[in-house]
Structure 1
Amino acid sequence: MEEENLNPVELATELTIAWLGNQNNRVSADDVPAFLRTMHNTIVELGSGSSAADTSSGEAAPAEEFTPAVSVRKSLASKDHIISMIDGKPYKTLRRHLSTHGLTDVQYRERYNLRPDYPMVSENYSLARREMAQRIGLGRKGRGGAATPAEAPAASEGSAAPAPAPTPAKRTRRKAAENA
């Protein structure tokens, strides 16, 4: 019964104190009054039975407009990095940057009206990753796999190149002890 007698200010204050007491919420002191006002307004709306949709007289809220920090052309001007339209800073890859802003690459493209093939990784960084993957053998089937592009012409010339000598099996401790 005591909770029914609480006025919206006291209830908003109690909820704000509880929210600030949670160790997972990190808020600066400047943001607390704004949070308290928002909490109070929400309690008053809930108490009166009206909602923000009722007060807007049936009109849909306009979608938030996002102004890009740079143009699309400037964003892709360098092959070494892509400039983010969110903050105007250069990145080799945008995916981690977008995730810190709660966006996926699809949402980012929609927000700034970008084409579906707008890159998320800079051109030079992509080439460097590709070269590294090829060097370590990613994409080849099995251990023998396809020959690398440098080996393919030599094998197709018809010259009988000697097969590489098989590598000796690794000696285990037991075999080493037996042979000693």
Structure 2
Amino acid sequence: MSQTPSGAPAHADMVRLASDIVAAYVGNNELPTEELPGLIRTVYASLSALTDGEVEAERQKPAVPVKKSISENFLICLEDGKKFKSLKRHLRTRYDMTPEEYREKWGLPADYPMVAPGYSRQRSQLAKKMGLGKNEK
């Protein structure tokens, strides 16, 4: 795709993208012929607005306040408000997001926990009881 000096796609590329979108839409939906030019204009205008930066993505708000997302026995996911003992797997499977990406997205500190404090303590005690982490050979 060629670009203008500002980094936006060239007019020909925008027309091609708009026509691809319209073709896909018309291929799966019924549309009166007289409405086709209006649809093309709307799609092209939307694409142009996106590349010109006119449409600024609305910043997503957390499901709960950050301060309330950490509890002794669970963490509340800022994406969907669900409670978990450990967030890492949920973030990967549901949102294809790493803990680092999650922290960055929500402006969280690097030490923001991915495991509930109480659960982490419980697992640590169990590991110590089992003798894990000792170098006895």
Give the TM-score taking structure 1 as reference length.
0.48
Q: Which runs of 4+ in 1 moved over 4 A?
A: none
Cα distance in structure 2, aligned partners of 1:106 and 1:141: 31
Assess, with a 3 A threshold, how the Cα gap between structure 1 residues 92 and 12 changes in structure 2: closer, same or farther: same
How far the C-alpha of 1:57 sits from its partner, in A, is: 8.0
The answer to whether the 8 Å contact 1:79/1:123 transfers is: yes
- Which digits, 9 at most, give the CA deviation of each residue in 1:59-94, with x for residues without a partner? 236345111010011111x20111111111211000
Unaligned runs of 5+ in 2: 1-18, 30-39
Q: Provide the aligned length of Structure 1 versus Structure 2.
A: 106
Check if 1:86 corresponds to 2:86: no
How far the C-alpha of 1:122 sits from its partner, in A, is: 0.3
Paired position in structure 2 for 1:130: 124
Assess, with a 3 A threshold, how the Cα gap between structure 1 residues 64 and 104 changes in structure 2: closer, same or farther: farther
Check if 1:12 corresponds to 2:24: yes
% identical equivalent positions = 36
- Which digits, 9 at most, give the CA deviation of each residue in 1:121-141, with x for residues without a partner? 000110111111112221111
The letter for the 2-side match of 1:75 is S
Check if 1:62 corresponds to 2:56: yes
RMSD: 3.4
Q: Which has the higher contact order (CA 8 A, sep 6+)?
A: 2
The answer to whether the 8 Å contact 1:66/1:111 transfers is: no
The DSSP-based 3-state class of the residue aligned with 2:52 is coil
The DSSP-based 3-state class of the residue aligned with 1:138 is coil
The letter for the 2-side match of 1:73 is K
Cα distance in structure 2, aligned partners of 1:128 and 1:140: 18
The DSSP-based 3-state class of the residue aligned with 1:67 is coil
The letter for the 1-side match of 2:104 is E
Assess, with a 3 A threshold, how the Cα gap between structure 1 residues 114 and 133 changes in structure 2: closer, same or farther: same
How far the C-alpha of 1:115 sits from its partner, in A, is: 1.2
Assess, with a 3 A threshold, how the Cα gap between structure 1 residues 88 and 115 changes in structure 2: closer, same or farther: same
| Greater gyration radius | 1
Name the one with the larger helix percent.
2
Cα distance in structure 1, aligned partners of 2:62 and 2:85: 18
Give the TM-score taking structure 2 as reference length.
0.61
Paired position in structure 2 for 1:108: 102
Cα distance in structure 2, aligned partners of 1:8 and 1:112: 35
